[in-house]
Homo-oligomer: A and B are copies of this chain.
């Protein structure tokens, strides 16, 4: 009889709390969809400020704006965390063409890759040679490449359902192609844009030269997918095709910038910290609405949504708007460094940096036991069509926080359209749907609420503690 009573008692408790959770999630989602601030904030970031490359005036405007907006929310603390960031500038617009016969030229759309050096003044003209991948490039060797421009034309793999996998499959071409080609004496690289769609936008993104000395560094640009197809066709017709490009980018001295941080201090365990974040910097071609204005305003709205839903978190919840994810990750590194130096205990960090599209779920870096605990909340998310709770990558900015105890997670929006816009001039506000953005903010808030309520301990951890 006693056993039965206990079972009934436990059952009632779980029932009650599941009801409260369901009610709180409903409040969170309803508030986001009817009174959400994320879209309005994004409108300002995108349309009043615009592209926010690290070290730019716009990046500093974004720091000030988001700090002021966080201050209006009546949080417990809002502050700026200083961080020195690199400053790369694009300079005068890039220009490129191929030459089918002397003086007969066709312009193509390119943009310098972030971190690239400029071409010599007046541009550079050379024979162009096409390779299908980084691996192919390495196999070609000096005699085939020396003195030429190397065109690395690797399309993203269209039949991968998760487009981030397709992106990952081609990112070495963009990041390391120039350094590799330079080893064999190439004079420049042109890389196919990481875009699954055929269109005219070149997509920038970071590249690096590794330990290549300055004198050996060669300029590298992305070409639009339409022009990559065109160029490939022309090379097939004429193995001696000349290609010209000119770009005027340069790396200036590092400048002072900031991570922007807002905090609701925990009511029971103020020393246990939950971070929710995105990155405030963006590339310069568009206005950075999806990458990562969306993540920034969603993270800000997590704090507001908790307050508006009458939820007083037990743990400290921080929205961290990281600076310089795109070309240095200085903000993410700085945040982790300061956290370590202050001996702060971070229990959970959630990043939104995959666009403001309809949320599908989350990916987690945590123990299997913790993942199972999170998956037990699945039914709470079902009314909101959040269905994917899998192990996987979380986010670049929160990566430096990784240790054995923290649970890391990434918001996983529908990924089909992301690379249509990523790092290109069409990453702009009109391509963000208000409801999709708001559903993302609500989903993040719901997960933060549940992690705060139930903590990151798992039964297997407890068993270990009792050993």
Residue positions of A touching B, CB distance < 8 A: 29-30, 33-34, 158-159, 161, 163, 196-197, 358, 360, 383-385, 387-388, 414, 416-417, 420, 433-436, 439
Could you pull out 8 A-B pairs where Cβ atoms are within 8 angstroms? A33-B158, A163-B435, A197-B434, A358-B358, A358-B416, A385-B388, A416-B433, A420-B433
- Asked whether A360 and B388 contact (CB < 8 A) given A414-B414, A435-B416, the answer is no
The contact of A385 among B161, B196, B417, B439, by CB within 8 Å, is B161
Q: How far is the CB of A235 from chain B (nearest CB, A)?
A: 23
Chain B residue nearest in CB terms to A358: B414
Q: How far is the CB of A196 from chain B (nearest CB, A)?
A: 7
B residues near A30, Cβ cutoff 8 Å: 159
Query: Are B360 and A385 in contact (CB-based, < 8 A)?
Result: yes
Chain B residue nearest in CB terms to A162: B385
Q: Which of A161, A163, A433, A436 has the most CB of B within 10 A?
A: A161
| Copies of this polypeptide in the complex | 2
Q: Which of A196, A358, A383, A416 has the most CB of B within 10 A?
A: A416
Q: How far is the CB of A409 from chain B (nearest CB, A)?
A: 18
The contact of A159 among B34, B158, B388, B420, by CB within 8 Å, is B34
B residues near A388, Cβ cutoff 8 Å: 385, 387
Q: How far is the CB of A166 from chain B (nearest CB, A)?
A: 10
Chain B residue nearest in CB terms to A417: B433
B residues near A158, Cβ cutoff 8 Å: 33-34, 435
Query: Are A33 and B159 in contact (CB-based, < 8 A)?
Result: yes
Query: Are B161 and A196 in contact (CB-based, < 8 A)?
Result: no
Q: How far is the CB of A37 from chain B (nearest CB, A)?
A: 14
Q: How far is the CB of A120 from chain B (nearest CB, A)?
A: 39
Q: How far is the CB of A344 from chain B (nearest CB, A)?
A: 36
